[in-house]
Structure 1
Amino acid sequence: MRRWGPLALNDTTVRFQLWAPNQTQLHLVIEGSEPAPMQKQADGWFTLDTPATPGARYRFQLADGTLVPDPASRAQSDGVHGWSVVTDLANHAWRVAQWQGRPWEEAVIQEIHPGLCGGFAGVMRDLPRLAALGVTAIELMPVAAVSGARNWGYDGVLPFAPAEALGSPQELQALVDAAHGLGLMVLLDVVYNHFGPDGHYIPLYAPEFLHAETMTPWGGAVAVDRPEVAAFFLENALQWLEAYRFDGLRFDAVHAIGNRAFLERLAGEIRSAVQPGRHIHLILENEHNDAALLAPGLYEAQWNDDFHNVLHVLLTGEHAGYYQDFAEKPAEKLARCLSQGFIYQGEPSPHQNGKTRGTPSGDLPPSAFVSFLQNHDQIGNRALGERLTLLTDHERLRAATALLLLCPQIPLFFMGDERGSRSPFLFFTDFHDDLADIVREGRRREFAHFPAFSAEASRARIPDPNALSTFEASMPVPGPDGKAWQALYRDLLALRAAQIAPRLKGAAALGAQATGERAVRAAWRLGDGTALTLALDLGDNPALPVAQDHLLWREGLRFAAWLAPA
């Protein structure tokens, strides 16, 4: 039985429950009522069955009088330090009740920060345009309740509750329903590797939730080896898939969890729990490039940073920071990426002082890799949040876009890419007082080792993450050539839908090779036996063949695609 969060026993009675093993007593406080003592069980759980209906606001009172929200609150009122709200997620009137999802091979994903688009209602208004463009899935950055009115999303502290600033739980359900009505899948980015710095009360009553002795970039590691903690995240995943009917989840930075057994168990239990026949897609972000997690029955795919990183080097010439791992012979590295998925499959990383990274991935299908030219990390982790529209020339970016959208790997692009946006995507938060100062100065110190920001005056150019202007500047405005970019995306995605996606199941690489210092050619045998060939040349003097039989698409002398019959 699921234990985290309130459980409706009937129309008028709710079971409130909290795992608080280091508390001697715990009280439930329902707004307008006196604190009621909860019953402590032998396993550290406190429970209380009491009258309550949807809309009731409640908190827990610890032994020292501290009031805390429910860590599995389904909705919040007055922020993460405020009241949890009893919420009915079971009675939404679904308009597309029979939706079963779409096969993974059909996925074309746009990543979206809902807060920059007017919340859940704003994203819903844009769905018809995205569907007409050829997008088949949207991926929402994390929506969990977080301190303040605006945040990237990765500082969430109440993972079950949609952030109030984005909209209500019912509005999120309506967004998913509307997407399904247009044939769009909806994926959600979830964060199970850490909690944010403000509003994280769990250590006060359950310090065992973390391994304080095992540090991550965000503090003590989450103790997923404990059954109570593992259940917390399993129940969270199932809430999004069942109560909200998301079509899949993207698990953020699982390398920071550091527990493969948990990840394998999580995938297996999710797949066992969901309704048979549904297409449910589980995607990883994993710096370790662990191909074993992409085996059948576990995770469909991994975000492939290697694809982005090597193309960024080829497009911009940048080689500082982690780009140094891709600076030597980048065309050969891109060829390996196109034919085998991961570039680093056990080789030493120069950026990580020779530490080896990755495992062999050549036997995985192309669809096991989500490729992208940009995403929230790769833009937002830049000091000034510049997009590729400002970092490379128009012709090269069009050619790389054609490679992305016609490659058999699963394409993802960031909101605004499809309209040539030149708006930055900056790191933004809404913290206050000392925490705001810490975040602001930490952001500036992060870039102190880059030559362009080594001086104090230069570091001061980095936007204040807490300023409202930083958030507002990140809203994606179409570029001056936005219509031309949108036409390119629409035409390429129509070609992908007609000629490539139906043939992706069973596809396998035929090989790839560098054909110049910044040029590559790759081929795949698709599921019906046809052969897809892609050629890219980002050099100063591109020299792709002018004509060839079975031409599918051409971008001048920089990109061409051919589809030969079986």
Structure 2
Amino acid sequence: MTRESRIEGSTLHFRKSWGAEPEGEGWSFSVWAPGAQTVAVLVGEARHAMVEEADGYHRATAPARADAEYLLEVDGARVPDPAARAQVGDVHGPSRLVDPRAYRWSSQWTGRPWEEAVIYEMHVGTFTPEGTFAAAAERLPELARLGVTAVELMPVAQFSGDRGWGYDGVLPYAPHPAYGTPEEMKAFVEVAQGLGIMVLLDVVYNHFGPDGAYLHQIAPRFFDEARHTPWGAGIDYTQPQVRRFFIENALYWLTEFRLDGLRLDAVDQIRDPSEPELLVELAQAVRARDWGRPIHLTTEDNRNITRLHHPEAGLYTGEWNDDYHHAIHCLMTCESEGYYAPYAVDPMADLCLSLAEGYVEQGQERPPKSERRGEPAEGLPWPAFVNFNQNHDQIGNRARGERLLTLADDPRGVKVAHVLLLVAPFTPMLFMGEEAGSRAPFQFFVDFEGELAEATRKGRAEEFADFESFTGRVPDPTDPATFEASRPLDGPDADEWRELTRQALALRHERVVPLVRSGRARPAQVQRTSPRSLTASWPFCDGTLTVRANLGTRAEGGAASGEAVLKWGNLETNDYAIEVQVS
């Protein structure tokens, strides 16, 4: 990868191999279309033939002004640019020329280290009534006051329609227009960073959505027809041009939008036999640049592998830890269906293991499952695990999208779990509304039409047909009411939840983060003290963090010694209570 980021004063521009780039008084255009007989770019009323080069790219230059409309013409079919920075309208129409040098950054930002990260997962479209970057920016000060230090945006790459989670994007370089323009997204980032909040972006490199993915037509060789993901055609990452498309996409977001990091969705579906594999080469390309700030790369990976996250590898910063969530969820709800089954056997034991080592499933037998999953997590730093009690998947992939507070046997247990999440030395992540005790669902929603809409409705209903615990009708994912119902409304006890969040995060920043920064001294010691209580101690070079938690029963034995720096409830008299000590 030889193309470099360029900083010109207060502007940020990444020159892509794919798509349109400002070039002197005009623009250069490039698209990989191997096998196409004729390729041209249409700018306004003018047609400019593109010349094929040996690597399969077709290139041309043409005079044009910023904001002009353009289309590609591939063997007579007119299609949008798959690497467009913006569209004029929907995913099927013309692309729009965006000059990234037009946005002038008015501030400097040197980032934050990972041990300071408190992540807030946000869906831009439902976070505010307006559903825009601009409206979300106005809400950022309240998150900063709570102690949130990082916002993770669910995917914003343009998808079909106005409503969607973002994981069916088809234009990976174009912010979704329902949320705002590229310039408005950059303004959101600048507001966040001005408040000390990092901005992370969820990106999807494992598939394209079912509507508007014209890469199938432009470059069939982009895809591996012999393999399919759960969501669409597999991608052929062995092709250098395909690898460049995704690696440059990562560098583009980090450069032009001054992001602090990326979360790579479902990387277990990025199957690449190359050496190095795409995941490694992408991280190496990011690490090879001097950004002037820390860049944090995290993954979602169902395999529970460790090689990408070992500090000596220098590749990825963190991994979403579903194991921790599953243990907490089963403990709070007693659910046991589907993937919860092995965690429902003894969720308290699983929680203790996760608090000690990060992963629960590390290659051992896990009845009632027959297959083994994972690798030993020894050697991974505690902050490498992104822990959460809720996230978009674990709420939204339920039939009705219920939050934990509406499912838990006792809401007091959820408060104990909330404090435990926020003070433990792992990287905590909240899902929007969680800080305010929201009971509003987060449901699955799309904006498809016609046969695709009907297939989505039918598929969603069939997905839950065999769940014994579910009765009733699955909300229609194509109904705008399903989208509207998914806004994170405050719970009836929102003030109490916000104050609990503020206190826990104040303690984290003042006492826990300095310990984490000093380095781990020894392995954690986690002891189960009754059927549903525990004591966890994490020793650091500068002291020890100890948490005692009752999650349904009081600890057996004598009272704990030492002065608590934070407590909720009374450990000696309440079945639900938590105390935190720093010594």
State the Cα deviation string for residues 452-503 of structure 1 (Å, max 9, x = none).
44xxxx45x2110011000000011101111111111011111111110122
Aligned ranges 1:264-413 → 2 under 5 Å: 264-275=280-291, 277-296=292-311, 297-350=314-367, 353-392=369-408, 393-413=410-430
Q: Secondary structure at the match of 2:307?
A: helix
Unaligned runs of 5+ in 1: none
- Asked whether the 8 Å contact 1:121–1:175 carries over to 2, the reply is yes
Partners of 1:347 and 1:215 lie apart in 2 by 29
Per the alignment, residue 549 of structure 2 pairs with 536
Q: For the structure 1 residues 3 and 564, does the alpha-carbon distance in structure 2 shift closer, same or farther, using more than 3 Å as the test?
A: closer
Per the alignment, residue 107 of structure 1 pairs with 117
Q: CA deviation at 1:517?
A: 2.6
Aligned ranges 1:41-440 → 2 under 5 Å: 41-63=53-75, 65-96=76-107, 98-116=108-126, 117=128, 118-259=131-272, 261-275=277-291, 277-296=292-311, 297-350=314-367, 353-392=369-408, 393-440=410-457
- Asked whether the 8 Å contact 1:252–1:285 carries over to 2, the reply is yes
Q: Residue 111 of structure 1 aligns to which amino acid in structure 2?
A: E
**2:506 aligns with one of 476, 494, 513:** 494
The answer to whether residue 23 in structure 2 is matched with residue 9 in structure 1 is yes
- Asked whether the 8 Å contact 1:329–1:517 carries over to 2, the reply is no
RMSD: 1.6
- Asked whether the 8 Å contact 1:157–1:198 carries over to 2, the reply is yes
Q: Secondary structure at the match of 2:101?
A: coil
215-224 vs 154-163, which moves further: 215-224
Q: CA deviation at 1:349?
A: 4.9
Q: CA deviation at 1:356?
A: 1.6
Per the alignment, residue 464 of structure 2 pairs with 447
Q: For the structure 1 residues 481 and 225, does the alpha-carbon distance in structure 2 shift closer, same or farther, using more than 3 Å as the test?
A: same
Partners of 1:258 and 1:239 lie apart in 2 by 23
State the Cα deviation string for residues 313-370 of structure 1 (Å, max 9, x = none).
001101111001211222221111111111111124557x522211111221110100
Partners of 2:488 and 2:196 lie apart in 1 by 24
Q: Residue 132 of structure 1 aligns to which amino acid in structure 2?
A: R
Q: CA deviation at 1:535?
A: 2.1
Partners of 1:303 and 1:545 lie apart in 2 by 36
Q: Secondary structure at the match of 2:174?
A: strand
Partners of 2:195 and 2:359 lie apart in 1 by 33
- Asked whether the 8 Å contact 1:212–1:219 carries over to 2, the reply is no
Q: Secondary structure at the match of 2:277?
A: helix
- Asked whether the 8 Å contact 2:437–2:491 carries over to 1, the reply is yes
Q: Residue 487 of structure 1 aligns to which amino acid in structure 2?
A: E
- Asked whether the 8 Å contact 2:18–2:30 carries over to 1, the reply is yes
- Asked whether the 8 Å contact 1:552–1:560 carries over to 2, the reply is no
Partners of 2:391 and 2:290 lie apart in 1 by 29
- Asked whether the 8 Å contact 1:133–1:490 carries over to 2, the reply is yes
Q: CA deviation at 1:278?
A: 1.3
State the Cα deviation string for residues 419-460 of structure 1 (Å, max 9, x = none).
11111000000000000000001001000110144xxxx45x
Q: CA deviation at 1:546?
A: 5.2
Q: For the structure 1 residues 301 and 347, does the alpha-carbon distance in structure 2 shift closer, same or farther, using more than 3 Å as the test?
A: same
Q: Secondary structure at the match of 2:308?
A: helix
Unaligned runs of 5+ in 2: 4-15
Q: For the structure 1 residues 527 and 205, does the alpha-carbon distance in structure 2 shift closer, same or farther, using more than 3 Å as the test?
A: same
Q: CA deviation at 1:543?
A: 5.7
User: What is the TM-score with the length of structure 2 in the denominator?
Assistant: 0.92
- Asked whether the 8 Å contact 1:332–1:513 carries over to 2, the reply is no
State the Cα deviation string for residues 254-301 of structure 1 (Å, max 9, x = none).
0011237211111111111342x4110000100001111102211011
Partners of 2:351 and 2:239 lie apart in 1 by 41
Q: CA deviation at 1:542?
A: 5.9
Q: Residue 310 of structure 2 aligns to which amino acid in structure 1?
A: A
Q: Secondary structure at the match of 2:324?
A: helix
Partners of 2:365 and 2:221 lie apart in 1 by 35
- Asked whether the 8 Å contact 2:167–2:204 carries over to 1, the reply is yes
Q: CA deviation at 1:90?
A: 2.5
Q: CA deviation at 1:146?
A: 0.3
Q: Residue 531 of structure 2 aligns to which amino acid in structure 1?
A: E
Percent of matched pairs sharing the same residue? 45
Q: Residue 459 of structure 2 aligns to which amino acid in structure 1?
A: G
User: What is the TM-score with the length of structure 1 in the denominator?
Assistant: 0.95
Q: CA deviation at 1:223?
A: 1.4
- Asked whether the 8 Å contact 1:57–1:85 carries over to 2, the reply is yes
- Asked whether the 8 Å contact 1:17–1:47 carries over to 2, the reply is yes
Per the alignment, residue 12 of structure 2 pairs with none
- Asked whether the 8 Å contact 1:330–1:518 carries over to 2, the reply is no
